Amino acid sequence: MRRRSIREEDLADLHGKVVLVTGGNTGIGYATIQMIARRGAKVYMGARNGARAAEAIERLKMENIGDGSVHWLELDLSDPRLASRAGMELIQQEERLDILINNAGLQSNKTPFKLTTDGLLDIMVVNYISHFVLTETLLPLMKRTAAEDGSDVRIVNVRASRLVPPPAKGNATQVTSYAHAEVAPETFSTKDAVNKDFGATVMGKFRTYGNTKLANILHIKELQTRLDAEGVRITCLASHPGVITTAGTEGAMGAVPLLGWFLTGVVARLFFKSWRVGAMPVAFAAAGPEVVGTQHAKYKGAYLTPMDVIATPSESARDSRLQKELHDTTARIVQELGL
């Protein structure tokens, strides 16, 4: 059963809290930062381009962030080494980290996907591997924060919505809120499996994108399992912002042959919500009081859809074997990178 629409006022008081949001100069990340800052948090905007980050921060101040604050953290997700460096920089600057929101990512319309100099698929690096490295780098700081009395430490992986072309027998306006469900890998035990590219067709690129989103959910579930086993009080969630319009979604829709003009010009305007509305479920995952309330156990490792509905992800996303295989293979890849 869906709850009432969540408002910013429903979020927890975040005064004294430190938050990192990857991405954020536009779209869902931008609106999430604004909402979190308005609740009193000190927020870091993890972004590669300092000039764009500065412009976004000035806009946020003009639009009102209350008594919260926003700061730039140089973060380049195209290379896991740089993601690790950013995490270490934050550790040098802060004595606590209460919320990590892994939001940034490449879209399915990026053409073509390519291998990095390390032989890794760029979209998997940006959307998953670098976020994995950033999270692992920051975990010691988050664990120390979680050990404090009354702490509420959370890690949120954001799954963005995409509209893609229909299957052979389907509706042209099919909205895929489950990009991760378009793939069902037999294994993640090899580097090739993590690195898989499904091809240059529109659907092939969408499946490649979906593979990165599956990795995000498996990452959250494996991390929650690991932290629970260690007795660490950190809540891990995957958040789906809903069907929203951003520059990325418009680009993805526009890339669809023939249907692109219809999808961007008609469907998006009729059925898609603004990115500010899309940010609300992410903000709830990060700061909704219910998450640590009497129903806390059900939120641990959960996959949330708007607004706070705990949904069931694909069978692959629930596979504990794939969770462990992905973690172990990613750890080996990261070790090969010298991290």
Q: Which of 30, 178, 209, 303 is catalytic?
A: 209
Residues 262, 139: Cα–Cα separation, whole Å: 45
- 44 noted as active-site residue: no
CB-based contacts of 270: which residues, under 8 Å, 6+ apart? none
Beta bridge partners of 45: 21, 72
Residues 64, 77: Cα–Cα separation, whole Å: 28
Residue 81: φ, ψ to 5°: -65, -40
Residues 252, 249: Cα–Cα separation, whole Å: 5
Name the residue among 219, 211, 161 with its Cα closest to residue 181.
211
Alpha helices in the chain (DSSP H): 27-38, 50-63, 80-93, 122-124, 130-146, 191-194, 202-230, 247-254, 260-262, 268-271, 275-287, 296-299, 320-336
Residues 334, 122: Cα–Cα separation, whole Å: 15
Instruction: Give the residue numbers annotated as catalytic, written as ranges.
Output: 209
